[in-house]
Amino acid sequence: MLYLDSIGLDFLSLIDHHPPIISVSLPDLKSTVDLITSTLSLTSVEFRRIINMCPEILTSRVTDIVPIFTFLLREARVNGSDLKRVINRRPRLLVCSVQLRLRPTLYFLQSIGISEVHRHTYLLSCSVEDKLIPRIEYFEKIGFSRRDAVTMFRRFPQLFNYSVKQNFELKFDYFVVEMGRDLKELKEFPQYFSFSLENRIKPRHQCCVEKGVCFPLPVLLKTSEEQFRDRLESEKRQLGSENLGPGAWKFGSTLKIYLNYYDQPCGLPVIQKFKIIEVIDS
């Protein structure tokens, strides 16, 4: 208890979150702390943050942690200079079994074509059966082929981190029902699921509906607010000048107009484009 207090850790809080800590011997505890702080060159603040995120680390033995460092460096091909960043981002890696979790997940990610796993080490602590495969299966369930679903996760591995209920289902429903867009767009831009539904997707889609324009998903969502507004106004002006140029007709004339409701796959309940095909003077 005194040792933990001396390195700035709240013993009572740790016990509350992970009771087995109370049974760890002082020599084992010191060895674990020394190994982690020296290997990763952690400051006291950084170490406290890691332990607060994953107190189970303190019940791990040196003999459990050394193989994890070795695996990350040799098999996951993490650069030594990046090891600190990797653990800071995902401390739970230090309590995962190499044989039962880290290595099987590495092999699975490589099997679906994610070759640079060292860029996505936060996924190595995930269960293949409980987390990774069910997310791929969800995309198959909503209409993607297995090949296309895997392509999406290979293109944007962060998809594995998102909740099916709290993310995929809500955003996919809006994409199909309100936006009326095609699955092909999601295949090309799976990053759609990384944007906030309430703060980015809905507001921008609704602005496009009001202006009668349609953008590809990357333009709709990736651009800054200023860039989006500028593009929106520019598209609106261009659409107006293309369809009704000055001097094209005079007051009192009868216009024959071609209407195209499906010029782009946005499902907007407005005319996407129209053009005058004949002017009949009164």
- Per-residue model confidence (pLDDT) at position 203: 97
Q: What is the pLDDT of residues 53-87, one digit of tens each?
A: 999 999 999 999 999 999 999 999 999 999 999 99
- Per-residue model confidence (pLDDT) at position 54: 95
Mean pLDDT of 270-276: 42
Higher pLDDT residue, 175 or 214? 175
- Per-residue model confidence (pLDDT) at position 49: 95
Share of the chain above pLDDT 90, in %: 72
Q: What is the pLDDT of residues 182-230, one digit of tens each?
A: 999 999 999 999 999 999 999 999 999 998 899 999 999 999 999 999 9
- Per-residue model confidence (pLDDT) at position 243: 54
Model confidence band, residue 267 (pLDDT cutoffs 50, 70, 90): low
- Per-residue model confidence (pLDDT) at position 240: 63
Could you tell me which residues come within 8 angstroms of residue 126 by beta carbon, excluding any fewer than 6 positions away? 105, 132, 160
Mean pLDDT of 230-246: 71
- Per-residue model confidence (pLDDT) at position 255: 42
Q: What is the mean pLDDT of the chain?
A: 87
Domains of the chain, first to last: 1-126 (1.25.70.10)
Q: Which residues, in sequence order, are bridge partners of residue 255?
A: 279
Whether 89 and 122 have beta carbons less than 8 Å apart is answered as yes
Whether 35 and 62 have beta carbons less than 8 Å apart is answered as yes
Q: What does the alpha-carbon distance between residue 33 and residue 257 come to, in Å, rounded to a whole number?
A: 76
- Per-residue model confidence (pLDDT) at position 259: 42
When mean pLDDT is compared across 44-48, 110-114, 199-203, 273-277, the lowest value belongs to 273-277
When mean pLDDT is compared across 59-73, 91-105, 157-171, 251-265, the lowest value belongs to 251-265
Residue 255, CB half-sphere, CA atoms under 13 Å: how many? Answer: 13
Q: What is the pLDDT of residues 102-155, one digit of tens each?
A: 999 999 999 999 989 999 999 999 999 999 999 999 999 999 999 999 999 999
Which one, of 252, 254, 270, lies nearest residue 262 by Cα? 270
Higher pLDDT residue, 249 or 115? 115
pLDDT of 38 strictly over 60: yes
Q: What does the alpha-carbon distance between residue 60 and residue 7 come to, in Å, rounded to a whole number?
A: 18
Q: What does the alpha-carbon distance between residue 53 and residue 243 come to, in Å, rounded to a whole number?
A: 58
Higher pLDDT residue, 78 or 17? 78
Model confidence band, residue 254 (pLDDT cutoffs 50, 70, 90): very low
- Per-residue model confidence (pLDDT) at position 237: 78
